[in-house]
Amino acid sequence: MAEISMNKARTMIRKALQKGREMELKPLSVVVLDAGGHVKAFEREDGAAPGRFAIAQGKAFGAVMLGMSGTAQMQRAEQQGYFMNAVNGVYGGQVVPVPGGVLVRDKRGVVIGAVGVTGDTSDNDAICAAFGIEAANLVPEI
C-alpha cells in the first residue's frame, strides 16, 4: 500500500502555505494525515490561532475516516444532520465536516491520507490544500 512520505507531506504543507500567501489569506494551519488518520506533519503560520491544530486535524480526520472530502461531508450534514452527528459521536467529536479537509489519492485512485487546512474561509482552505497535494504529484479530492 502506498503511503505519504515525509518529503511529500512537507511539500504539501509548504505549497499550501505558499498558496495562502499568494491569495493574501489569513494565517493558515496545515496538517497531513496518513491513511490511518495519524498525523504525519503539521505547521501553523505565525499569527494563526493556537486552537487551529484541532480544526485542521478534524477536517482531515473526517475526510480520511469517512473516505469523503470535507465538501461532501458538509453536503451530507446539510441533508442528513443526524448522520453526521452520529459519526461525530463515534469519533469522539473529532470530525469537522466542512471544506478544507481534502482526501489525498495516489495516481491509481487509492486514498493514502488527507490534508486539513484552516485559517481562512473553508473554501479558500480547500483551494490551498488541493494546491499542496497537486504540488506533491498526488491527487486531491476536494
Strand partners, 34: 113
User: With pLDDT > 70 as the criterion, what percentage of the chain qualifies?
Assistant: 99
pLDDT band with cut points at 50, 70 and 90 for residue 120: very high
To 5 degrees, how large is the angle CA 76–CA 77–CA 79?
A: 65
Res 1 pLDDT > 90: no
Q: What is the mean pLDDT of residues 35-52?
A: 97
Please report the pLDDT score of residue 100 as a whole number: 98
Instruction: Say what the pTM is.
Output: 0.97
Determine the pLDDT at residue 140: 98
Q: List the one residue out of 67, 66, 18 whose CA is nearest residue 43.
A: 18
Cell triple for residue 138? 498526488
Other C-beta atoms closer than 10 Å to the C-beta of 103 total 25
What is the percent of the chain where pLDDT is above 90? 99
For residue 88, count other CB atoms closer than 10 A to its CB: 17
